[in-house]
Amino acid sequence: MNKYAVLYSEKIKEYKLEHVLTADRYQNFMDLYQEKLGSRKDFEIIVPDSATNDDLKLIHTEEYIQRIEQMRSLDPYDTPLSNGLVRAARLLAGAGKLAGELVCSGQYRKAFVVGGGVQHANRNQEKGFGVFSDIGICAENLKLKFGFNKILIVDTDAHAGEGLYEIFAGDPKVLLISIHQDPETLYPGKGFIHEIGSDEGVGYSVNIPLPPKSGDRVYKLVLEKIVVPLAEEFHPQIILMVDGSDPHYTDRLTRMGLTLRGIRMIGQIISAQAEKLCDGKLVDFIGSGYSSDSRIIPMGWLASISGVSGVDLAVTEPDPVPTEFKSDHGLEETQKIIELIRKQLAYYWKCFS
């Protein structure tokens, strides 16, 4: 039987995260999780420990860790450090590390990190309410502990993962593909198609900016034309997904057009690649979502679990999807973006030449 680990600690609810990271998101998700998956024997909740300083040092500098512990914010307007935020960051970092180990040791087929997916923090700078890089620590630990040298990160969060880019731009062991809303129109203002890595890592970072309101069909096309061929050629030993609910059309911070069905579809396509290329090994970080409709955040996370695991959870849109998000909005522009990206990367990847 395939087993799935869901990494979650009740402690995260105690931390006051401020800003748009509403605390009720975790309880809302766990309520829905219990309703839909609570009785299944193939899903298991695993309570992670907080990351130790040695764990954090896999990515972050000692100086940075000390500054964070002293809560000396460099940019309090962007990321005001608080006891709650720092404790939560340590917990998520510990969860990310453990999730990778649970999958790679063969105990679980796949793992889901509830609340995870820190994209903006880099090695020595907190950003966008991200403090410690849970994904970075997960990847670096797998390199060290399991000798992995091919890790694929697929980041479909609506914001560009510029912190992850800064961490892995020079590293050819990590192929980072980020699909996000055009950074001309959204925080953090980075993630353009010319950002393709540096030094030895040139060609191992792929930024795919999409026009606002891009919906399910646009994402499907990008996955088919860029992500799948790259994954097949790279042939990863594990796939890490940065996922969540913020590309949903109801999100109030972003302006993408995915439906819950689209979020599920992304999980299905990436999971099929994991099955084909790396014995199913996949860790899914599900944490984003700022919808004005509080039902959407947990439903998006569950849609992702449904897609990745292949378990049909009947996650249906609570309200009818407006016509504009059923159209092919942005499809033509995206086709041009895809061609540009394929041309730019043709020198590094046979699948595009």
Q: In the complex with Zn ion, which residue's Cβ is closer, 288 or 306? A: 288
Taking CB under 5 A as the binding criterion, the range among 161-169, 268-276, 285-293, 340-348 that sits at the site for Zn ion is 285-293
Name the burial class of residue 314, with classes exposed (0-12), middle (13-18) and buried (19+) by CB atoms within 10 angstroms of its CB. exposed
Report how far apart, in Å, the C-alpha atoms of 32 and of each of 28, 50, 108, 117, 133 are. 6, 25, 22, 20, 27
Least Cα distance to 44 among 108, 138, 123, 91 occurs for: 108
Q: In the complex with Zn ion, which residue's Cβ is closer, 171 or 246? A: 246
Tell me how far, at minimum, the Cβ of 246 lies from Zn ion, in Å.
4
Tell me how far, at minimum, the Cβ of 39 lies from Zn ion, in Å.
32
Number of residues that bind Zn ion (CB under 5 A): 5
Q: In the complex with Zn ion, which residue's Cβ is closer, 258 or 345? A: 258
Site string for Zn ion, 139-178 (x = CB under 5 A): ------------------xxx-------------------
Look up residue 220 and give its two tokens.
């499907």
Q: Under 8 Å CB-to-CB from 323, ≥6 apart: which residues? A: none
Q: Under 8 Å CB-to-CB from 176, ≥6 apart: which residues? A: 153, 155, 161, 164, 165, 168, 204, 205, 206
Tell me how far, at minimum, the Cβ of 192 lies from Zn ion, in Å.
17
Look up residue 16 and give its two tokens.
């006051």
Q: Which of 237, 288, 309, 334 binds Zn ion (CB under 5 A)?
A: 288
Residue nearest to Zn ion (CB): 159
Q: In the complex with Zn ion, which residue's Cβ is closer, 139 or 158? A: 158
Q: In the complex with Zn ion, which residue's Cβ is closer, 157 or 216? A: 157
Q: How many residues are present in the chain? A: 353
Q: Which of 166, 171, 246, 284 binds Zn ion (CB under 5 A)?
A: 246
Tell me how far, at minimum, the Cβ of 167 lies from Zn ion, in Å.
17
Q: Position 301: which residue type?
A: W
Taking CB under 5 A as the binding criterion, the range among 90-98, 162-170, 239-247, 266-274 that sits at the site for Zn ion is 239-247
Laid out side by side, the sheet with 110-114 consists of: 43-46, 4-7, 110-114, 282-288, 238-244, 151-155, 174-181, 205-210
87 part of the interface to Zn ion, by CB under 5 A: no
Q: In the complex with Zn ion, which residue's Cβ is closer, 140 or 243? A: 243
Tell me how far, at minimum, the Cβ of 220 lies from Zn ion, in Å.
20
CA distance 250 to 330: 17
Tell me how far, at minimum, the Cβ of 127 lies from Zn ion, in Å.
12
Active site residues: 120
Query: What number of other Cβ atoms are within 10 A of residue 35's Cβ?
Result: 11
- Contacts with Zn ion by CB under 5 A lie at 157-159, 246, 288
